[in-house]
Amino acid sequence: MIRFLLVFPLFILMSCEEIPIVIADPVIPDSEKVVLIEELTGASCPNCPKGSAAIENILTKFPGRVSVVGIHGEFLSNPTSKSKYDFRNPKAKSLESWFQPWFGKPSASINRVKDENDMIMIDIPELWQAAVENELLKAHQMNLLLDTKFDEITRKLDLEIAAIPLTDLEGSYNISIFLTESDIIDAQSNGAVIIDAYNHKHVLRDMMTKFDGDNFGSALKKDAIIKKNYTYTLPINPNGLWNPKKMEVVVMISRAMPNDVSVVQTAFKKVEK
């Protein structure tokens, strides 16, 4: 009788079969638009390998269309008991604070676009791809060209940037330049265990601008080329970090309006070819 009472109403309701949902990918148009993912992560963050896996999937799916910066700030970013390196740095800590509010790690900003709740950070890695696709579906508004020259002796990096707006762009704009390093093998928390030899990618090592960007200009005119030059000297690290062959420079032009800090265009290039 009990089983009947429990199961019968369920049976009636469940007999209404839903029309299956079709799981299909959107068609992404070809363009020069590049999307920036800024991920809040950390060596002591047990869920962060999930974020890294989601990013690698996105990079595989959209080669050349996505650039990544891994921000090891403060929260769960301290080295594990088995770590050799400490990826935290002042710019990463400042950025992590700038991105508030966020609920936990991993969290990621996709082109710094706010959602309906005014949140920039998305704390579910499985939703990052859809956010990237949404950005790739938007109009391409600026070409961003980079040229790098690295001197192995002095370890000086010269960066030349040329931006060409493809339409008139109202408002003010900032430029942020990140230096990231990949293929750093070190410990990483993963659920209940620590992976001893985890491949850390896109680790933010420093920035060539202020953490919240330098002024890039305002009311940008279509086809009016804007050029900028930056230099940076890579420190010598006896532990093998700051390896120019594994480093990348990531440049981002973003809006600098009170309610809109979204990214217009991103470009990336290896420090040493």
Partner 1 sequence: MITGQEKGVFSGAFETNANVFIRDSSINTPNTPQYDRQFFGGEAWLNVNYAIQGFTIGARFDMFNNSNLRNPTDSYSGIGIGRWFVQKTIDKLELSAGYLYDQIGSGLIFRAFETRPLFIDNALYGARVKYSLSENWNIMGFAGKQKNAFDTYTGNIKGLRSEGFISLGSEDTPLTLAPGIGFINRTISDENMAGVVDALRTYLDEDRFSPKHNTYLSTIYNTLTYRGFSLYTEVALKSKDIFYNPFAIKSEIVGSTIGKLEQKSGSVLYGSLSYAKGNLGVTAEAKRTKNFNFRIDPNQRLLRGLVNYLTPLNRQNTYRLTSRYSPAAQDISEMAYALDVRYKFSKAWSIGVNYSDITTLEGDRLFQELFTEVIYKHKRKWQLTSGIQFLTYNQEIYEIKSEVPLVKTITPYVDFLYRYSPTKALRTEIQYMQTKQDFGSWLFGLAEFSIAPKWSFEASGMYNIKPKKANSKGQIEKTFYPTLGVVFFNDAQRYSLRYVKQVEGIVCSGGICRLEPAFSGFRFAMNTTF
Residues that bind partner 1 (CB under 8 A): 2, 5-7, 9-10, 13-14, 16, 18, 20-21, 23-25, 44, 46-47, 49-50, 53-54, 56-57, 60, 73-75, 80-81, 93, 96-97, 100-104, 123-124, 126-127, 129-130, 189-194
Q: How far is the CB of 194 from partner 1 (least distance, A)?
A: 5
Peptide bond connecting 90 to the previous residue in cis, omega within 30 degrees of 0: no
**Closest to partner 1 by CB, 95 or 144:** 95
Buried b / exposed e over 3-25, threshold 16 CB at 10 Å, is: eeeeeeeeeeeeeeeeeeeeeee
Measuring CA to CA, which residue among 142, 143, 156, 179 is closest to residue 67?
Answer: 179
What residues are paired with 145 via a beta bridge?
162
Min separation Cβ 172 and partner 1, Å: 24
Q: What is the token pair recorded at 157?
A: 């990096």
Residue nearer to partner 1 on the CB measure, 10 or 236: 10
**Cβ 133 to partner 1, closest distance in Å?**
8
Distance CA(33)–CA(39), nearest Å, equals: 19
Residue type, 179: L
Q: CB of 59: closest distance to partner 1 in angstroms?
A: 10
In contact, 106 and 45? CB cutoff 8 Å: yes
> 103: closest CA among 123, 87, 76?
123
Output 47 or 262, the one with its CB closest to partner 1.
47
What minimum distance in Å lies between the beta carbon of 41 and partner 1? 13
- HSE value, Cβ hemisphere, 13 Å, CA-based, for 235: 7
Closer of 26 and 29 to partner 1 (Cβ): 26
Q: Cα(273)–Cα(270) distance, rounded to whole angstroms?
A: 6
Q: How far is the CB of 102 from partner 1 (least distance, A)?
A: 7
Please, which residue, 96 or 232, has the CB nearer to partner 1?
Answer: 96
Cβ closest to partner 1, residue 7 vs residue 219: 7
CB of 178 to partner 1, least distance (A): 19
Please identify, using beta-carbon distances, which residue of 147 and 196 lies nearer to partner 1. Answer: 196
Alpha carbon distances (Å) from 110 to 19, 128, 134:
32, 7, 10
